[in-house]
């Protein structure tokens, strides 16, 4: 185990790639796991653009507990440690598949959110923008937000199924992986694109991949080391870097 803190310390450009697994410690269910959001709710509706346009209330009702109820969503040791490691110059950036805002709330500065984020919402009719706090207050009072200017549908800036990823964010994430000599893939099953292929930009250039995840991933054979448990691994790192 002592090898991992050394690897991180000796790296010149370490990038973290994070998935839903790191937020389950904060009580946020993952999407595809056994107790995941997609087991409980209809995955073809929650983040589907066409469905959202026909009935935005489904998204706002279902996502209230894991997106808007931030009092119940506290950054955990993984978010905090990644933020601390960035502040001392060890981690250069975080690329995340998560939409829970926990990296930025933990203090991480350079965060690339591949699937967008609910930090802003946009009226699909007139383009008026609404910040997270405004929308969260409406959603937490069990109402569906509509545009205050034109009564249009207000959508979070999360990438829904049926929408393209933001090309600038994706380009930035790829560039980070090309620059990286060490990638920490944390709590991601590495099956959803583009996250699944991002570590390969680092590996092809001779960089090192470390995977910490409780299930197998398609990139396990490329990993220099893999560890099953995030909390144990980060408790170790905490005291040693
Ligand atoms: Zn509007």
Q: Considering the candidates 79, 103, 115, 121, report the single residue annotated as catalytic.
A: 115
Check pLDDT > 60 for residue 2. no
Q: What is the pLDDT of residues 148-168, one digit of tens each?
A: 999 999 999 999 999 999 999
Q: Is 115 a catalytic residue?
A: yes
Buried b (16+ CB within 10 A) or exposed e, 19-55: bbbbbbbbebbbbebeeebeeebeeebbbbeebbeee
From ligand 1's centre to the CA of 120, what distance in Å? Answer: 14
Check pLDDT > 70 for residue 35. no
Residue 177: which H helix or E strand, with range? helix 167-179
User: Under DSSP, is residue 153 helix (H, G, I), strand (E, B) or coil?
Assistant: strand
pLDDT attached to residue 1: 44
From ligand 1's centre to the CA of 129, what distance in Å? Answer: 8
Bigger pLDDT: 170 vs 66: 170
Q: Which of 66, 183, 173, 165 is nearest to 111 (CA)?
A: 173
Residues 99 and 37 sit within 8 Å (Cβ to Cβ): no
User: Under DSSP, is residue 13 helix (H, G, I), strand (E, B) or coil?
Assistant: coil
From ligand 1's centre to the CA of 123, what distance in Å? Answer: 5
Residues, CB within 5 angstroms of ligand 1 (ion)? 123, 125-126, 128, 147, 149-150, 152
pTM of the model: 0.93
Q: What is the pLDDT of residues 110-134, one digit of tens each?
A: 999 999 999 999 999 999 999 999 9
H-only helix segments in 11-101 = 37-40, 43-46, 49-54, 56-62, 77-87
From ligand 1's centre to the CA of 144, what distance in Å? Answer: 14
Check pLDDT > 50 for residue 19. yes
Domains for the chain: give ranges and CATH numbers.
Answer: 1-28+76-115+165-241 (3.40.50.1220), 33-72+118-158 (3.30.1600.10)
From ligand 1's centre to the CA of 235, what distance in Å? Answer: 47
Q: What is the pLDDT of residues 58-81, one digit of tens each?
A: 999 999 988 998 888 899 999 999
């Amino acid at each position: 185990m002592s090898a991992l803190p050394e690897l991180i310390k000796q790296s010149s450009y370490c990038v973290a790639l994070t998935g839903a697994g790191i937020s389950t410690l904060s009580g946020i269910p993952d999407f595809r796991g056994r107790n995941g959001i997609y087991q409980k709710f209809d995955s073809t509706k929650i983040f589907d653009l066409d469905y959202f346009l026909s009935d935005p209330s489904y998204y706002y009702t279902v996502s209230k507990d894991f997106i808007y109820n931030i009092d119940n969503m506290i950054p955990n040791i993984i978010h905090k440690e990644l933020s601390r490691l960035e502040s001392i110059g060890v981690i250069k950036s975080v690329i995340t598949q998560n939409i829970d805002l926990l990296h930025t709330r933990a203090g991480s500065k350079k965060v690339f959110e591949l699937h967008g984020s609910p930090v802003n919402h946009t009226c699909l009719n007139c383009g008026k923008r609404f910040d997270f706090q405004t929308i969260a207050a409406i959603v937490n009072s069990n109402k569906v937000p509509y545009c205050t200017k034109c009564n249009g549908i207000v959508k979070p800036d999360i990438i829904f199924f049926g929408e393209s990823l933001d090309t600038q964010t994706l380009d930035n994430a790829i560039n980070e992986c090309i620059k990286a000599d060490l990638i920490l893939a944390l709590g991601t099953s590495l099956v959803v694109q583009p996250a699944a292929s991002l570590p390969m930009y680092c590996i092809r250039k001779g960089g090192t991949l470390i995977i910490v995840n409780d299930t197998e991933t398609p990139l396990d054979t490329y990993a220099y080391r893999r560890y099953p448990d995030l909390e144990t691994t980060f408790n170790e790192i905490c005291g040693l870097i």
